[in-house]
Structures are given as structure tokens and as C-alpha cells.
Structure 1
């Protein structure tokens, strides 16, 4: 679902209708131009359905797995499709209809993003949401309100969680038994590994995307986070911050016992504490091109590493990235802790009070708060 918003409504209805049709055409044949099946969210069809531009303020387009909603253009700024640069952001937005707490977290995240967000006039922020149908309807209503104050151009795109799960399952099925909470491989668990294989699902013209948890609060312009892509090293494919609790000290306990001099699970700056997936910069093009990264997705490789490290996790993509990061740290650009200031302190009260602060401390300027494990985020 795509929402365009450069500030206000066109007063001229005829101009509005013409502009709306132009944007719809360019969106269909430009941004979401349908190529091979591997380049699109749809697994079964290239069908595109375009509704009539009428007196309504919206135009819906179905993309067989994703959908867009466009609102009217602002009267002082009209959207120029040519020459624009898209910045892509993705969030999971499932089961919101049955969990009011998720809706509250999302409102905090989106309102703070809008408050601090600033982009150039030629730039568009594309907001991608993976959603089930009931949550999608809630999202439409919430975003119509929260995005009203945005000073930048944006699009909102909803992707169907079922369609994505169908694509993900064959890729990540083998790794789920090592990194899922349940005992065994569950089809529905696949969505928790979306970031691992996103480079094989997103259209190839999307080369970079940032994936975020819902329980965040921005304290700075989100555009600055996109600039961190420029700091990636030659072999980096993913930007991600360290885990700020001794989660992986605990998870790798057997490996650590057998390898007394290892840095696996040790705190920073010299240790390897594992990663937190609340904020991730995914260089999709680099992920596609990296022979090493794609080899690490192979079932035999996952199994061999899981056996080597005696690894059994429950945090999905975060566990996978943490495990392969122990073996191939060169694939990861480590984000400063200020970009993912995790607030959860659960492990402090569960056996690690004596060393907890070595993981938890962050002396950097805080740019994003992460209220993981339902921790309260500080008020402004």
C-alpha cells in the first residue's frame, strides 16, 4: 500500500486526477516493474489491477502479494517521479489486530520517525510493511493519522505475510530447527528469517533496505542511518549492532567451556557478543553478489556450524547472524550502539549481574532507543 504525501491537497480536482493517474502509471511500470518471478513478491502471477481514479482520495493497486495506496498530492509540492531517489525501510506488522501493545509501539516508532525525518525534495522514503490482512487494515488507519505531519515524500507498501512465507520456507526451512523457539520446523516460523533471504525476494532494483523492529523510538533523522551504508567495508553485506546483554555468552556456554581462550560470547570491544536484529542495514545487492554469504545459507553449512558451536537458539535471524558472525565477521559492519540502544536488562537478574554492565554500557549519543523485552522507552 503506497501513500504519497507531499503536504496538503490539490484544490484542482482535474489536476489531481491527472497527477494521480500519472503517478500510478509510473509506479507500476517503474518502481514495481515486473520481471522474473525471483524479482517480485508474487509467486504465482504478474497480474496488476488498477482501480479507477474517481472522486475518492485514494487509488488502490494490487500486486499479488503487495498492495499500495496513494493519497492526494500536496498543493505546494507535487511528486516528481523522474530523478527521485528511493530509501527503503521495512517492518514486520503482523498480529497487530490481536495485540494492542504492538499498535502502541508502532505509533511511538512512526510518530518519532516523522518528527525527526528530513529528506531532500528529490528523495522518497518507501515504507514496507509485512502484514496479515487484519493488521493491514489497522495500519492504514494509523498511518493516515501519523503521517499527516511528515515533511518528506513517502510511499507505504504492504506485503502479504502469507505470500512471503511461501517464498521463504524453501530457503530457510533447514535452519529453523536450530534458531526457532519450537521443537521442530514450523512453516509459520519462516517469516522470522525474512532478513536472511530478503535479497532473493525483493525486486532487484531495490539494492539497499533497512529492516527495523516495531519497538523503537527515533531521536534523530532516519536518513542519517541510511548514510551508514557508505561505511561498509569491502566484504560487508549487513550492518548490525552488537547484542547488549550476555545472551550469547549463555547460548554458547558449551563451546566456551570446550574452548577456554575463545572470544565467542565475550563482551566488546575485544569480544564477540553476537548481534541484535532490532536495526539492520541490508545491502541486498552485496548479499546477492556474495558467494560466501549464499553458501552459508546452504543446509549442510548451517548444520555444520550449529554442530561446531553446539548452537540451539530461539531468536530467528538474530541467531543465524550471530552464529555465522563468529565464523565470518567480515560479512558484518558493526553499527555503533547509539543506533540500537537496547534497554532490556533481563539477563542482569538471571545469573549475569557481575558482568552485565560490560555488555550493556553505551557511551555514544543515542539515536534510536530499542525497547526490547517490553522495556519502557524514556519519554522526551
Structure 2
């Protein structure tokens, strides 16, 4: 130890001498040659001989200065290393204001991240968090999610469709961990899930040596590898890296008679945690935290800040476990924090933590900056984050882009319909259940299935006012539009009153509207036995939901498609007729028409509206060319052909294949839907104005018809003659 201290003293002396000698040498040199350096020539663009000589000598002196600075830097680094080694046995050896950006980890080292995520709404926060991580990251990532069934279902689809290179995901059922923490009374809004971070050393694989633990309400403003690199600073038994709490909570000064859990000083916030899992396992972490929690609960009765109270109680008794993180790695934004003291410049920020139930509405003098940073990632196009990591071997992906059977580049250049044909091969990022969903279906329940884009958003409220049953709807939106939809929905009393509507966001990509992919997404999330395949611009007659439930309860619809007749109005201000008799009266007056009677008669002509006007019983109709009715079928009906994008033949192809499978088409006598007017979509405009679009669609139809004949044999030969 004495030799180390002498070495330390020598290095300090060397550093001081260098600091003194460098400026002194420069000053002496400039003083001796000041007469040369101040000569001014009328020719300001050139040098005389004395000036050139002086310039050369100044360059030599600068090179010597640079060499001395380099030696000084090496000496300082050695000094810091010695200082760290001398204090390695002390727990709190890191200045909370130090910048750790100098920590370097191997380029291709996998960074392990654990997140507890439960419920539908929390998955939105997770996606925004992951966007901020991906924006800065330069390393492979492996996410470990402690999740309930709903969050796992949503996040599995998110990662699968996002298709991010060098990103892996693992899930651990929260239900398996509940018994370990459910005995702890907890007043925090996170409930039992807020305690599950305590179980990570045991529930994560034993092969995992260390992990970053993150709350869902944080935003990264730097490369996560810098945070991962702080593990290299852990000394001795240090196993838990935390940032000091930036409020007075654990000082007991929030309100009168405030009695917080025990903590070291101000305590520590658990929104960002570095866990050395190996050390914690060797120390028998489970026994440590359980014994302390049981003892403290005898007097505290309940936790208020969930896992954070227990972590702080453990560190109070075992301070050697703690490694203090620089506070920039958890800038805590809540009304009672002093986070402004944590940073001087915005460049100092590393992680922003919205650790308040009020989230973006907290008080902070820089709140607009933080809010804009968060909104930037919230609305950022996630497609731009699918970039490769260069220079690393393949470390595994959640999924791989499907092969599209493309030909040579020369073939692609000659194929005028190449863009049209390649569109279905795109993997659209998909976020299921974007809003909270809670519905238990009945035995004969029917879900309305639809899809829409942002320009049809106002029709959601109208649909919900006319259909009281469950709805599964796919929304095609950009990241920014999805946020606008969220605000729209939260501000809508009609939509917020409904918990049986599943909203599934499909993010925009490509040039065409993926109409059948959207329908399949919505269809795939139905949890009722039957579905009503409709469109967002149709309003159901009053009581249609109850009527359809009665029909399916009394009818065996195996291999049957029940047709709900479609009508239309050209009036924007319109009241849906309450009965069939009222509808027929409006048909006679000319305020309502059979759907597309003036532009696309073939689409619904087989419904036989003349017979429907007078019948009181269901009747069978035959499939005809271009037939595309709206039908009620069993949930397990085949999906739509996703080759059809944009406008044209997307429903026609589906009904054609149902006919090929032997479905019967039965028209319901007492139900109907009304199409409401709206501006034409962009894809309709393309179809009408672009001959190449129509030509490509014709080629796709021919391919589909040939596929049907190969798939269904003789009974599908009739489709080959369809133009």
C-alpha cells in the first residue's frame, strides 16, 4: 500500500509540473521572439523570411506541447486507475456527476435488457422506449420481458413484424412470478407487477451474468452501450447500480408525519438498474430481500413505491452492494424532484424518466424540451430503425424478412408491375390492441371486422353508436398518425365508453394500401365464434348486432355465408332507417339506393334486392362474377388473399374462394347496412387514372384464378373464364 501511495504522489507531482511547464515554456518563447512575431508586412497574404522562420519554430514548440499533453493525459489516467484500485473496497466510489461516455465495450457484445410489462396500455410505452434505444444503439440487443398474456401477445407481434436486425426477445410469464411477491401489500399504481424486478436474479437464465433493468416510462438520449459499460466500474461486492433519488421522499419531508421506508440518505430510484446477477445469486439475493421485506412490513404494513422501497431497505443494511450511477442516467421528472441539479447542458442528458402518474404534465423548467424529445421518438418512423449492424456476425433476429421469389434484376426492370407485385411481401409493423381491451364473448357472439386509414377516423364513432357488439378494427397509420389517433380516442366519450373494441395499428410502409392484410389482422384477433365482415364506411341498422346473434343461434352456418344486404345514401346528414319498412319507403323516395347501383351493379346484383323487399325468410343465392357481399361467417373462415392491395378485387377474390370451398350464400331478410358518402381514396384515384394500375390488377386476377383451379380442381374451372 505504501508503494502505491508513493507512486500516486509521484504521478501527481508529474502532472503539476507538466501543467506549469507547458504554459511557462510558451510564454518564455513568445517573450524572446516578440519582435519577430509582431512584424507586419503590407503583403498580408505572404511571409517574409523572418516570419517563415518564426512560424516553423512555433510549429516545433506546438508539437512539443502536444507530446507533453499526451504524457500528462496518460499520467492522469494512471492516477485515476490507482485511485480506483485503492478505493475498490469502498461502496460509493463514483461521483454522481461524472460522465461515463468514456466506457467502451466490444462492438458486437450483446446488451441484455429486462423490462416488466403487463397490460395493453403499457406496450405503447415499451415501443417508444425501444425506439429511443434503437435510435442510438450500435450493439446487438436482447430484451427479456416479464409480461402477462396480453402484453406477450402484443409484443411478440410487434417484434416479429418490426423485423429488427440483431435484436432478440425472450418472455417470462408474470403468472409464474406472482407467488413470489403477491404476499407483499403494495399501494403503488403498478400493483403486483411493480414488485417483480425483485425476482429477476432467479427468474432470468443462469447463463445471464448481468442485465440492465428499465421501467417502461423512460426515454434514452444516448447509446445504451455507455450505460452497459458502467458494469466495468463495479468493484468488490457491488452488484446493484442505481441513481440517487432526486426527490425528498426518503428524507420524510414530503408532508407532515410522512414515514417512508428506510434508505441510505435520499435513497435510490429503481427506474434504471444495473444488476450483476452472478454476484446476487452467490449472495443468496432472494433470502436477503425477503427477510428484510418481512421485517420492515411488520412496522410499515405496506410498500408505497413497490420494489423501490424494498431495494432501498436492502441497501440500507447492505451498502456494499451499491454502485452509485451518475445522475444523468436517470433524470427523474416528477413534481417533487430536483432534477435540474443533475445536468448543466442538454448534452449531459442520458436517460429521461417520467416517474410520475402525471407523466408529460410534470413541472420542470425544461419540460418543453423533454416533452419534445419524448414526442420525437413517439412519432418517429420505426421503419427507419430496421438498419443493419455492420461488422458483427449474425447474432439472431426475432424474425427474418420472407423471401419473395424475386427474379434477376434484369427481370425486375422489365416487369412493369414489379412494384405492384412486390408490395404484398412487405412486413408491416403491427401493434395489436393499441388501446385497452376487455371483453368476454358469449356463446353465439358476433364481432364486426373492419379496417380504415386516418381519413376515415371520424367514422369510428358513428360505427360504435350503431353497433353495440364487439369490434375488431385494423388502422393503417404512420407513427405520428397513431399518436393523433390515441389523442382522438382519449378525447372521445363514445370511444372511451367502449371496452369491446380491439384497435390494431398497422404502420404505413410501401406505396399501396394493404387492404387484405389489414382485414386479416382484424380477423385474426376476433375472440367470438362468428364474424361480420364489413367496412368502416357502412352503418349497421339499429339492433343489427342483436338480430345477427339471434340468427346464428338458430342457424347452422357451417360452410354458410349469411349476406347482410348493402345500401347507400349520397347525403352526408343522414339518419339510418330504424326498420326494413322505413328503408323500403326511403328506397321508393330516392333517398336511399342499392349499393353501387350506378357504378358497380355486378358487385351486389346476385343479392336479388327485388326479392328481398318482399321476403320474410332467408333465401339462397348463387355466386356470380364479381360478387362481393358483406357476410356473417364462422370465425375460422379462410383469410383474404394479401396479394390484392390498393383498390380492386380484394373482396371479390375472397367471396370467389368461399364459393370454391362450397359455401352457400344465404340472404338475411331483416338486416341491412347503409354506406355513407366520403371522398374517394388515393388508391381509387390511381385505379381510375392509371392504365398500368388496371393492367397490373388484371394480371394479378389471372394469377389468382389459375391458383384456384390448381387448388380446387374441376369445380374451380369456371373461374378461369371470368374476365
Q: TM-score range by the shorter chain?
A: 0.5 to 0.7
Q: What does residue 155 of structure 1 align with?
A: 168
The CA deviation at 1:233 is 2.2
The CA deviation at 1:112 is 0.9
CA deviations over 1:319-370 (Å, ceiling 9, x no partner): 001122222222111111110111111x3xxxxxxxx64x762126111111
340, 345, 352: which one aligns with 1:369: 352
Q: What does residue 278 of structure 1 align with?
A: 271
Distance change in 2, residues 1:192/1:92 (3 Å): same
Q: What does residue 322 of structure 1 align with?
A: 312
> How many aligned positions are there?
251
228, 231, 241: which one aligns with 1:229: 231
Q: How does 1:214-363 map to 2 (within 5 A)?
A: 214-250=216-252, 272-290=265-283, 293-299=285-291, 301-305=292-296, 312-345=302-335, 347=336, 357=338, 361-363=341-343
Cα contact 1:111–1:146 (8 A) shared by 2? no
Separation in 1, partners of 2:273, 2:327 = 12
Separation in 1, partners of 2:133, 2:352 = 12
CA deviations over 1:168-224 (Å, ceiling 9, x no partner): x24x466x13xx118xxxxx9554332223212222111101110111111111111
Runs of 5+ unmatched residues, structure 2: 1-107, 361-369, 374-723
Runs of 5+ unmatched residues, structure 1: 1-83, 183-187, 258-263, 266-270, 348-355
Question: Are 1:93 and 2:117 an aligned pair?
Answer: yes
Separation in 2, partners of 1:283, 1:335 = 14
Structure with bigger RCO (C-alpha 8 Å, 6+ apart): 1
Cα contact 1:251–1:312 (8 A) shared by 2? no
Q: What does residue 108 of structure 1 align with?
A: 128
Separation in 1, partners of 2:258, 2:220 = 36
Separation in 2, partners of 1:379, 1:146 = 24
Please give the TM-score of this superposition, normalised by the length of structure 1: 0.58
Distance change in 2, residues 1:85/1:144 (3 Å): same
Separation in 2, partners of 1:157, 1:273 = 35
CA deviations over 1:232-269 (Å, ceiling 9, x no partner): 12121111111111111228999999xxxxxx77xxxx
Distance change in 2, residues 1:253/1:233 (3 Å): farther
Q: How does 1:127-146 map to 2 (within 5 A)?
A: 127-144=143-160
181, 187, 191: which one aligns with 1:181: 187
Q: Which has the larger radius of gyration?
A: 2
The CA deviation at 1:296 is 2.4
Please give the TM-score of this superposition, normalised by the length of structure 2: 0.32
Cα contact 2:177–2:199 (8 A) shared by 1? no
Q: What does residue 721 of structure 2 align with?
A: none
Q: What does residue 202 of structure 1 align with?
A: 204
The CA deviation at 1:118 is 0.6
Cα contact 2:327–2:342 (8 A) shared by 1? yes
Cα contact 1:110–1:146 (8 A) shared by 2? no
